[in-house]
């Protein structure tokens, strides 16, 4: 903890229904790219936590709060949910969380619906606030369209915030608005937070009312004009959500371009906020990259490919229409076109999964190839294995998933059915069209198919008898 700077908590307000969104889901759980609205505020705070500027984070949940609680438990286990069963306003949300924050020196309060807010801006706000020894500092900004925001009113040397619904016509013309992002000295917040009243147009306890109250008592309240307007946009309506998606998408893509990622058509490329891409990577049009995917330098991702939670090494070539998830492609590997890779598959360096191939939960050894039309599931392939077209690992017996193990340098003939569990020693081979149900020793050839017979003169006889079926008159 950072001694003199004081212990700082961050309270994210996310209990509201988001009536204007007209959705059954709580507003903060609606997606922006592949993450919920709430993710973005928490990520900004996480950056501060790493720098030691925030020591604890809680989220006030309420409307369908079990969904927000479950999301936090799954994705942000260090973040504490605090229940506000009745949503009586932003001031009320801070009141009900008192037990959690009263032990801190400073408290950030921010809305859960301001996804473009950055950690850097929060850090500057906290720094200014502490340096000036302020009782409350909040971020205000000039809005091109102030509609819906609380207006910041400067009069008689004091500051107050008037909500849109309570504002006079004159006040509505003001363009300086409240971002909803505050930092309080806890000892100054405590005596005021229960003095808010709900006598206003919405019958709610407004947190911004505290600004005027503190100012009146001669406390130091700072309206800090900071950052770009975009950064503080609230997400209240479907149109604002769509705008935020477009802006965040563009920010991410521009950040990638600046980092040396090339795109022929950046507007068609979608990249989630958790993705990391090294320089010299080429993304073809209509690529989508989601989750915690990382891509190493010099790789190429072909058009219409969709990647999620992938670890892609350096110099990897993914052709078009690859659907890759929760798996890894090692350095110099190649995949696609039209390949599905999923559920923890691992391609070793310089291995290859080709056209119309599905690979699930399997390891493909170095330089091994699965070039065409194959299903490889629950399998381990050694190095330099070659899998013929049409090969299937029959991994499911109706009850259990069983493993197939294929040793180094095995050559699997086309259209082999490998009925798991089955083990092939190194340098083994299978004859094309074999159904392999028993283990194959090292170096052996497995032939598991009916021996071919040729029936001489068959087609001539068929013409005479008029029989359509070859199997009938062959005795």
Instruction: Name the residue nearer to ligand UD1 (CB basis): 92 or 106.
Output: 92
What are 13's two structure tokens? Answer: 């307000």
Q: How far apart are CA 6 and CA 54, in angstroms?
A: 10
Q: How far apart are CA 364 and CA 361, in angstroms?
A: 10
- Identify the burial level of 157 via C-beta atoms within 10 angstroms of its C-beta, where 0-12 means exposed, 13-18 middle and 19 or more buried: exposed
Interface with ligand UD1 by CB under 6 A: which residues?
13-16, 60, 62, 84, 87-90, 92-93, 111-114, 149-150, 161, 163, 177-180, 206-208, 234, 236
Q: How far apart are CA 237 and CA 5, in angstroms?
A: 38
Q: What is the DSSP letter of 355?
A: E
> What is the smallest separation between the CB atom of 195 and ligand UD1, expressed in angstroms?
16
What are 378's two structure tokens? Answer: 């629950």
| Choices 53-61, 63-71, 112-120, 132-140; region in contact with Ca ion by CB under 5 A | 112-120
413 binding partner (options Ca ion, ligand UD1, none; Cβ < 5 to 8 Å by kind): none
Q: Would strands 8-13 and 56-61 be described as parallel, antiparallel, or unpaired?
A: parallel
Q: Any contact of residue 302 with Ca ion (CB under 5 A)?
A: no
Instruction: Name the residue nearer to Ca ion (CB basis): 196 or 392.
Output: 196
> What is the smallest separation between the CB atom of 291 and ligand UD1, expressed in angstroms?
25
Q: Angle, to 10 degrees, between the axis of helix 238-258 and the axis of helix 37-50?
A: 50
Q: Any contact of residue 234 with Ca ion (CB under 5 A)?
A: yes
Q: How far apart are CA 352 and CA 5, in angstroms?
A: 54
**Residue 85 a catalytic site member:** no
112 binding partner (options Ca ion, ligand UD1, none; Cβ < 5 to 8 Å by kind): ligand UD1
> What is the smallest separation between the CB atom of 162 and ligand UD1, expressed in angstroms?
8
> What is the smallest separation between the CB atom of 70 and ligand UD1, expressed in angstroms?
17
Q: How far apart are CA 211 and CA 185, in angstroms?
A: 13
208 binding partner (options Ca ion, ligand UD1, none; Cβ < 5 to 8 Å by kind): ligand UD1
352 binding partner (options ligand UD1, Ca ion, none; Cβ < 5 to 8 Å by kind): none
Q: Any contact of residue 208 with Ca ion (CB under 5 A)?
A: no
Contacts of 34 (CB under 8 A, 6+ apart): 272, 273, 274, 290, 291, 308
Q: Any contact of residue 16 with Ca ion (CB under 5 A)?
A: no
> What is the smallest separation between the CB atom of 148 and ligand UD1, expressed in angstroms?
6
Instruction: Name the residue nearer to Ca ion (CB basis): 119 or 234.
Output: 234
3-state secondary structure of 1: coil
**Are 391 and 411 a contacting pair, CB within 8 Å?**
no
> What is the smallest separation between the CB atom of 237 and Ca ion, expressed in angstroms?
10
Instruction: Name the residue nearer to Ca ion (CB basis): 91 or 234.
Output: 234
Q: What are the distances in angstroms from CA 111 to CA 16, 30, 90, 116? A: 10, 15, 9, 11
Residue 396: CB atoms within 10 A of its CB come to 12
Q: Any contact of residue 150 with Ca ion (CB under 5 A)?
A: no
161 binding partner (options ligand UD1, Ca ion, none; Cβ < 5 to 8 Å by kind): ligand UD1
Instruction: Name the residue nearer to Ca ion (CB basis): 93 or 271.
Output: 93
What are 68's two structure tokens? Answer: 């927000």
Q: How far apart are CA 55 and CA 108, in angstroms?
A: 11
The binding site for Ca ion (CB under 5 A) comprises 113, 234, 236
Q: Which residues are catalytic?
A: 372
């Amino acid at each position: 903890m950072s001694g003199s700077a004081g212990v700082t908590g961050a309270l994210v307000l996310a209990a509201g229904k988001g009536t204007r969104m007209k959705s059954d889901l709580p507003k903060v759980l609606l997606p922006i790219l592949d993450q919920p609205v709430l993710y973005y505020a928490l990520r900004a705070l996480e950056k501060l936590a790493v720098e030691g500027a925030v020591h604890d984070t809680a989220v006030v949940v309420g409307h369908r709060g079990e969904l927000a609680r479950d999301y936090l438990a799954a994705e942000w286990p260090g973040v504490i949910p605090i229940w506000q069963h009745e949503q009586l306003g932003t001031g009320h949300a801070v009141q009900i969380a008192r037990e959690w924050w009263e032990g801190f020196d400073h408290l950030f309060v921010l809305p859960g619906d301001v996804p473009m807010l950055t950690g850097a801006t929060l850090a500057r706000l906290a720094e200014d606030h502490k340096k000036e020894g302020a009782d409350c500092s909040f971020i205000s900004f000039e809005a091109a369209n102030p509609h819906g925001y609380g207006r910041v009113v400067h009069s008689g040397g004091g500051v107050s915030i008037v909500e849109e619904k309570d504002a006079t016509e004159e006040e509505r013309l003001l363009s300086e608005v409240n971002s909803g992002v505050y930092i309080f000295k806890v000892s100054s917040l405590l005596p005021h937070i229960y003095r808010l009243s709900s006598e206003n147009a919405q019958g709610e306890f407004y947190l911004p009312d505290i600004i005027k109250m503190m100012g009146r008592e001669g406390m130091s309240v700072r309206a800090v004009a900071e950052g770009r307007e975009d950064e503080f946009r609230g997400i209240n309506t479907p149109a604002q959500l769509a705008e935020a998606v477009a802006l965040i998408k563009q920010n991410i893509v521009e950040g990638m371009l600046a980092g040396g990622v090339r795109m022929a058509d950046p507007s068609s490329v979608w990249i989630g906020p958790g993705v990391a891409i090294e320089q010299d990577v080429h993304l073809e049009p209509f690529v989508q990259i989601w989750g915690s995917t990382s891509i190493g330098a010099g790789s190429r991702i072909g058009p219409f490919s969709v990647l999620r939670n992938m670890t892609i090494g350096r110099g990897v070539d993914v052709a078009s229409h690859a659907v890759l998830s929760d798996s890894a492609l090692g350095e110099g590997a190649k995949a696609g076109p039209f390949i599905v890779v999923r559920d923890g598959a691992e391609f070793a360096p310089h291995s290859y999964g080709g056209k119309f191939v599905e690979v699930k939960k399997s390891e493909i050894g170095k330089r091994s190839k699965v070039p065409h039309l194959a299903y490889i599931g629950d399998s381990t392939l050694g190095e330099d294995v070659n899998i013929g077209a049409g090969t299937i690992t029959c991994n499911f017996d109706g009850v259990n998933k069983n493993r197939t193990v294929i040793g180094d340098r095995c050559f699997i003939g086309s259209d082999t059915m490998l009925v798991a569990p089955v083990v092939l020693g190194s340098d083994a081979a299978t004859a094309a069209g074999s159904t392999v149900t028993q283990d194959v020793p090292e170096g052996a050839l497995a032939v598991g198919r009916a021996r071919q017979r040729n029936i001489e003169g068959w087609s001539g006889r068929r013409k005479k008898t008029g029989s359509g079926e070859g199997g009938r008159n062959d005795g």
